[in-house]
Amino acid sequence: MKKLTANKAYLVFYAFDIVLLIVVAVFLLPFSKNNNSPNSKNAAFIEAEQLKDITEIRILDKNAKCRVSMHRIGGQWMGTDSFSNDSLYWPADNKTVENFLVQMSTEIPWTKKASNVTSWKKLGVDASNAVEVDLRIDSKTAASLFFGYADDLNGEIYFRTSKESTVWQAKTDVENFVYEKNASFWADPFLIPSCIRTKAENRDSGLRRGELAYIKPAEHVKPIKILKKSFDSGYTGVYSFYEKDDQIVVIPEFSGNDYAELISYRYTISKWTYEKFVAQLKESK
């Protein structure tokens, strides 16, 4: 067996080192691609300049089987949800929607939590577990985000954008909106929606509804009362009241323009609120 000369031994040693470096580089290449983003930054979920152009908001929580969609019609927001199979349309609470958009456009510190797809499920930002939020401008996506679990130690929530695999975490008031699993949260809270009344009528009528209702009275069930009201704004409302257990189900219908005539929803009120509301409508005829 021939012995290697010193020069040949060095060559073999260097060749082995080169091969090892190539193997390590190939192994680390996917990780280097996922680590292009900084470890922290200040950013917003959407640019503030885009807010005035947003025409649609979609919030989908697959775990809760809840989907809320809201469209801007003129200066008002109109909503629908999966609980009604998108068949009922309620006037959204403009203040709640605008507050949500302000939080989405507020710059906050982002800290990188993970850099690859394998972390998504553990952090709750995969498509099956995340709350997906889409903001659209004329049917084109302006921002798409996936919000996951919260950090048990600091309360920060994990999230990612649809454009990268990086998972970030941040403390943000957006969580007060996106994890809400009840469409009633987004709907106008008043028995007479703010979009229907004048400012003076807004001051005079502060009665609030209960939860949105998705039951449809049977054809043989007659309302216990029907009242019609003409508002100073030019709109007309017809309220049908149905008794169910210890509550009253209200089905309002409005006319006056295309937006008002799109409204088709139901909600519950207590019997105390019912008596107050009926008296109010009769007095203001």
Model pTM?
Answer: 0.82
Strand order in the sheet with 66-73: 40-43, 108-114, 167-170, 157-161, 140-150, 131-137, 56-61, 66-73, 76-81, 90-91
Arithmetic mean of pLDDT, 121-146: 95
61-117 residue pLDDT tens:
988 889 999 999 988 999 999 999 999 999 999 999 999 999 999 999 999 999 999
**Range with lowest mean pLDDT among 31-35, 121-125, 196-200:** 31-35
In this predicted model, what pLDDT tens digit does every residue of 240-254 receive, in sequence order?
Answer: 999 998 999 999 999
CB neighbours of residue 4 within 10 Å? 10
Q: Could you write out the DSSP letters of every residue in 226-278? A: EEEEE-TTS-EEEEEEEEETTEEEEEEEEESSHHHHH-B--EEEEHHHHHHHH
